Structure 1
């Protein structure tokens, strides 16, 4: 009897904690997992997927066009914002390479919007050699994090390149 009770309680608890998974197509309509996969694998649509957790704890997978953006933005606006965020001068006509981290993004190492010193160090172990190489070509590499992501780093360190996007200035340009 005790075993049946524990088994029933375990099943009920799992069902209560089950996370809803919603699938949204590139037009904002809800679709099922099969439809999502079919669209994602269709090369002519050029779609990417992005997964995140919403405020209610639901997992959302959304199809996006142009998820990876390259583009021409107002250079001086971005330059000014980077100088504000970093507290450093950005020289005229410098090429900027910006890696952007979105809040609640399930594709990043830190899925809880908290980047500890250890997590930052782990990521920098990968990015620093790349950064050092491209700096030789007069390219500034910076990692920006959407507001709401906590970074446990020293932004006053002259070698720091992980910063919070104050006011989500750049994040708004990518949305």
Structure 2
């Protein structure tokens, strides 16, 4: 298994989680919701799975491994705001680890173009991944090829 690829993906996820350090927002009452992807993404989300598939190997859920080393990871909340910004909350127990891995990211924006979720950090760097929704879950899928081996990472989040 290519561990550096998993770490890189995990770092992107942690970067999103750090966005919440300064921002808390009130939630609106849900009126049944907007069925479009733009309407579905708005809200608070928690990580529930991190599947990695390398080459022809079976897909493996790395979430239990991550939470074994960093138990507070399961309590990180990512908030996609209707205005295209991302915020969230990081438990105090994760603060040092998150800051050590990705530093302090003060703001990020998101955009949905078809089935692509485009995240732009405060430095203007963009990450793009395929996004899909099923009920109260959202999945992000990203594929990288390195040295002829294709690695697919699928992050699953549950709406709170």
TM range (shorter): under 0.3
TM-score with structure 2 length normalisation?
0.25
The answer to which structure has the higher strand fraction is 2
Larger radius of gyration: 1
Bigger relative contact order, structure 1 or 2 (CA pairs below 8 A, ≥6 apart):
2
TM-score, with structure 1 as normaliser: 0.24
Task: Determine which structure has the larger helix proportion and give its number.
Answer: 1
